[in-house]
Amino acid sequence: MCQKLINKYNVAGPRYTSYPTVPYWNAETFSLQQWKQVLKQSVDESNTEEGISLYIHLPFCESLCTFCGCHKRITKRHEVELPYIKAVLKEWQLYRDLLVTKPKIKELHLGGGTPTFFSPENLKLLITELLRVSDVAEDYEFSFEGHPNNTTKEHLQTLYDLGFRRVSFGVQDYNLVVQKAINRIQPFENVKHATETARAIGFTSVGHDIIFGLPFQTEADVIETIQKTEALMPDRIAFYSYAHVPWIKGNGQRGFNDKDLPSAESKRKQYETGKSLLEKVGYTEIGMDHFALKTDGLYKAMQNKTMHRNFMGYTASKTQAMIGLGVSSISDSWYGFAQNVKSIEEYYNLIENNIIPVYRGHILSEEDLKVRKHILNLMCHFKTSWVQPDMMFNELPDVIIKLKELEQDGLIEFEKKQLIVTKKGKPFIRNICMAFDLLLQRKKPNTQLFSMTI
């Protein structure tokens, strides 16, 4: 990749798991009542045919991984499991009381934190009780994030028996120096055992998460990690840049110094090298930072143009409504977003008082919805168009003018009323989306809110 382009486009920018992005939500005018209205509207429109998605945040971890930007609570006290599960089930009850129709679950994902912090018995209790009061779509997909060090055969068998067929394991990097820096000591043997056990039980999609740009990480480390990954051939791989945002995440990302991080040029070389190795052994690049074998559902979704992107990342199908349960979870009704409180104690208090524990959100305007469609098209399919009137908005001519510079740099091409991202432009997809981000342009932040794009 051209160093001149890296220098030019390596700026702070969103990853666009939503539009508007969280820092630009209209939190001042948002209300819980508004959220309830737009969620009911969305479920009424889509539940019967499409179903809904559920994301459940399980925040507990036994130790702090210093690369992690997720919301978590560090503890070794496993007696916290049952009270938390009861609170999540109570929150689901509050949502079911709100909805007119019985919810039909199409996608269910357990994230964290460390979902496998919870015992198999408690996970079974959680899922069994959720499903007992819900319908399940015929083409459902249940998935969870597993820590290779503590995901047991019992975890995998229990969740398989409940309908889970997809699991992703956090690998990050196999070099011990890097692992010590991010406080994630995890031998290859543990990942191998978890992967092979999942496949033996019957999981049809096993994913690995690999990060580049970590402290002390070199191109050689990335090569070694991907060579070891090749030995296991996971069905899909998330290969993404470390998001260094200690000013947001506090001391959790201060287990090392900024000087220990690779330069932007080194990071990009790590990615290009990793991408080349993955493609050589049969992986196809999917959207941004994701790779899949041609047998995996995510690849098929890309081919069928049904792939979607939300707060869970890339998913093989779209549901109009996604309800997030648990602390810090974010829900999406298509017409609005809502985030739960981040304090476990506050979460418990609101649930106990029969209040849906939302503390901020955003109701999308007509302009927001149109821009959101363009950004989703770019993130999922590397192209978008404004042939149809419902894709036009007042400032689109100004956006096109901003895009001309990207066109001159060979990152995009225009074809009538269509924008196509070139192969050269795919690594800069966040920058291309930023040209459409009207709120980012209108409200330039005084401080850095996002990680760097390269």
Asked which of 133-142, 197-206, 213-222, 254-263 is least confident by mean pLDDT, the reply is 254-263
Residue 237 to residue 220: CA distance in whole angstroms? 19
* Residue where a domain terminates, one of 363, 378, 395: 363
Q: 3-state DSSP call for residue 273?
A: helix
Query: Region 170-190: what's the mean pLDDT?
Result: 94
* Residue where a domain terminates, one of 317, 335, 363: 363
Is 328 found in the same domain as 210?
Answer: yes
> What does the pLDDT look like over 320-365, one tens digit per residue?
999 999 999 999 999 999 999 999 999 999 999 999 999 999 999 9
Q: What is the percentage of the chain residues whose pLDDT exceeds 90?
A: 78
Is 372 found in the same domain as 357?
Answer: no
Which structural domain range is residue 372 located in?
366-442
Examine the pLDDT at 178 and tell me if it is beyond 90: yes
Examine the pLDDT at 96 and tell me if it is beyond 90: yes
Is 377 found in the same domain as 306?
Answer: no
Examine the pLDDT at 247 and tell me if it is beyond 60: no
Number of domains in the chain: 2
Instruction: Take residue 189 and report the two structure tokens written for it.
Output: 């043997």
| CA 141 to mean position of chain CA atoms | 16
Which pLDDT does position 1 carry in this prediction? 58
Closest residue by Cα to residue 112 from 23, 39, 209, 195: 209
Examine the pLDDT at 396 and tell me if it is beyond 50: yes
Examine the pLDDT at 249 and tell me if it is beyond 60: no
- State how beta strands 308-310 and 313-315 pair: antiparallel
Is 319 found in the same domain as 262?
Answer: yes
Residue 9 lies in a domain: no
Q: How confident is the model at residue 453 (pLDDT cuts 50, 70, 90)?
A: confident
Residue 14 lies in a domain: no
Is 231 found in the same domain as 157?
Answer: yes
Q: What is the CATH number of the domain that holds 407?
A: 1.10.10.920
* Residue where a domain terminates, one of 309, 340, 363: 363
Is 375 found in the same domain as 272?
Answer: no
Is 235 found in the same domain as 116?
Answer: yes
Measured between its terminal Cα atoms, the distance across the chain in Å is: 11
Asked which of 41-50, 81-90, 185-194, 229-238 is least confident by mean pLDDT, the reply is 41-50
Is 165 found in the same domain as 72?
Answer: yes
Q: Is the pTM of this model over 0.85?
A: yes
Whether residue 379 contacts residue 433, with contact meaning beta carbons closer than 8 Å, is answered with yes
